[in-house]
Amino acid sequence: MSQSQHDSGHFAETRMVSLQEHVMMQQRHHPTATGEFTWLMSGITKAARFIAAKVRRAGLVDILGEFGTTNVQGETVQKLDIFANDVLIKSLTYRGNVGILASEENDEPVVLHESGAQGRYVVLFDPLDGSSNIDVNISVGTIFSILRRQDASFGQVDSLADVLQPGLKQVAAGYVIYGSSTVFVYTTGHGVHLFTLDPTTGAFILHRENLRMPDSGSIYSVNEANVGSFAPGVRAYLDHLKASQDPAYTSRYVGSFVADFHRTLLKGGIFMYPATAKSPSGKLRLMYEANPMALLAREAGGLATDGSADVLDIVPTSLHQRTPLYIGSRRQVEEVKEFLAR
Ligand code: P6P
């Protein structure tokens, strides 16, 4: 095969760019970057590899009796979401540039005093969203959001002021989906980029760069068991979708947010978790579920709203607050806002 034929082959498209290299290249958008963000992101990818390896073995629980009993070291083996939370905290605590961690699993933010004045970043995460689906082998995911500590509060004991920033302030956001393959998706505000974990080398390899969500999609995703307690505008919108011929819609609902969002990002359409009787403020959390996905949606050309406002504009009042969420292709999100405004 001639060199030119070889170059036009598979390797030319993938260029074999690792996530580490890509994050370094993204720094060109930040002339003042010192590489510390790259070092932080390598902590997240390290944790992702450990979590992926553990999730892959979850099915062996019953066979090997690994979880819920003690392991060979006599340690009590933890539930997967606790494991994921511990791995993320351990991977980020010693990066030196993270000042505060906030997790779905921890009531309060964790201030990393050891980082001192170097701890410029706040990292929020849902360590293993949808973990209840692992028993039935449905994809689950890790969601993360990165903020920069606000100079005014820098070094203050009250860390909450640093954490409770609107989604527009995110310097990066992303998720890892543990599915048929492990895919890492992130943005630093300059496009959405997708990487697949090569289990043999442990490298995340670029496979989609500057991904664009379709401006319109024919898939809607909502738990229709809750339709009885949806607002009239939501019910009217669902009737509209079912009656539509162009496009003719289909329904897909996995019940794992990362899986439902990943499909929406790639194929378009809309994911909805409206307010319900059981979850009057919506079920999904603003800070480490809705905000990171809303930044990715916007960077890919889509939208995310709580029904009236842009999710990224919401000024948070508490770490674990919930929000109704309508996220996906521009056309569908703008349509649902019209129905909700009637
Ligand atoms: P429901 C999983 O438990 C989760 O937090 C999200 O991942 C998912 O989108 C949602 O809950 C599903 O909730 O009420 O439809 O089962």
Mean pLDDT by 10 residues, the chain (342 residues): 44 73 84 80 96 86 52 57 94 92 94 83 95 87 95 63 95 96 96 96 95 98 97 98 96 98 98 97 97 98 98 97 98 98 94
Separation of CA 326 and ligand 1 centre (Å): 14
CA 163 → CA 105, 122, 169, 306, distances in Å?
15, 7, 10, 20
Pocket test for ligand 1, best of 80, 129, 221 (most atoms within 8 A of CB): 129
Cα separation, 210 vs 130, whole angstroms: 27
Separation of CA 267 and ligand 1 centre (Å): 20
Q: What is the pLDDT of residues 135-167, one digit of tens each?
A: 888 999 999 999 999 865 555 556 788 999 999
The pLDDT assigned to 113 comes to 82
The atom of ligand 1 lying closest to the CA of 260 is: 9
β-strand pairing of 203-208 with 110-111:
unpaired
Our CA angle for 13, 261, 198, nearest 5°, is 40
Q: Whose CA is nearest to atom 5 of ligand 1?
A: 130
The pLDDT assigned to 5 comes to 43
The pLDDT assigned to 57 comes to 85
Using CB distances shorter than 6 Å, the residues near ligand 1 are 129-130, 132, 223, 255-257, 260, 283
The pLDDT assigned to 272 comes to 98
Amino acid at site 26: Q
Pocket test for ligand 1, best of 81, 129, 281, 283 (most atoms within 8 A of CB): 283
- Nearest-Å Rg of the Cα atoms of the chain is 21
Q: How many CB atoms lie within 10 A of CB 243?
A: 9
Instruction: Check: CB of residue 48 under 8 Å from CB of residue 144.
Output: no
Amino acid at site 143: I
Tokens of 230: 């949806």
Cα separation, 130 vs 96, whole angstroms: 30
The pLDDT assigned to 65 comes to 44
